[in-house]
Amino acid sequence: MELSETGRRFIVHWGEMGSAWGVNRTVAQIHALLFFHGKPLNAEDISDTLAAARSNVSTSLKELQNWNLIRVTHVLGDRRDYFETSHDVWELFRTIVRERKEREFDPTSRLLQELVSQPSFQQEPPDVQDRLRETQRFMEALGAWSDEMLRLTPATLEKVMGLGAKVQKFLRSPEPGTALAEPPQLPPPLF
C-alpha cells in the first residue's frame, strides 16, 4: 500500500512518540497505520507498507493485542488474519490509560500497601514512614480519580477537561483567620 505524505509523516511521528513513551517504534507505527488507514490490514500488507521485517510485525501485533489496542478480524474468502483498531480516539485513550494503570500504577500501589502494613515498617525512621504513607495516600487518591474519569462518557470527560484550573476557585479555602465574604457561585451543571 502506498502512503500519502500525510500518512507517512503521521506514522513516522507516532513511532517516534511511541519510543518517547516507552513503546517499541514498530509497535507504535503499526498502530498508527491501522488508525490512519481505518480499515483492517493483514500482516503482509503492514510489513510491506512499513518496510518492516515480517517477524517484527508479528511480534508487534501480538504486543498490540496484549494491550487491547487492536483486534483480529477476517475477510470473506481470505484465511489470513486481519487487524484493526478503534477509530474512536476516546476509546483508544481509555484503553491506554486503563492498561498502563493495570501494568504500572496498580502494582506500585499494592507494593506500598504491603510495605506500610508490615510490622517491620514501624522500624523505619519517622520521616521515611511519613513519605511512604503520603505516597500511598497519593497513589490511592490518583487511582480512585482515574477510575472515576474512565467511567465518564467522552462528552462529559471533555467537559471536565475543559474546566481545567477553573475548578480551583470553587475549591479554594480562605486564608487562615479570614472568612469568605460570600459563598462561591457554583457553575451550572455539566450534564
Q: Given this model, what pLDDT does residue 173 score? A: 62
CATH assignment of 5-85? Answer: 1.10.10.10
User: What integer best gives the mean pLDDT of the chain?
Assistant: 90
- Split at pLDDT 50, 70, 90, the class of 17 is very high
Task: For residue 24, give the 3-state DSSP assignment.
Answer: coil
Other CB atoms closer than 10 Å to residue 63's CB: what's the count?
17
Q: Residue holding cell 514498530?
A: 26
Q: What is the pLDDT of residues 23-69, one digit of tens each?
A: 999 999 999 999 999 999 999 999 999 999 999 999 999 999 999 99
pTM above 0.85, yes or no: no
- pLDDT tens, residue by residue, 126-165: 999 999 999 999 999 999 999 999 999 988 988 888 887 7
Taking alpha carbons only, the member of 80, 84, 63, 89 closest to residue 72 is 84
Dist CA 2 CA 14 (whole Å) = 18
Beta-bridged to residue 42, according to DSSP, are 82
Buried b (16+ CB within 10 A) or exposed e, 149-188: eeebeeeebeeeeeeeeeeeeeeeeeeeeeeeeeeeeeee
> Which helix or strand (DSSP H or E) is residue 41 part of?
strand 41-42
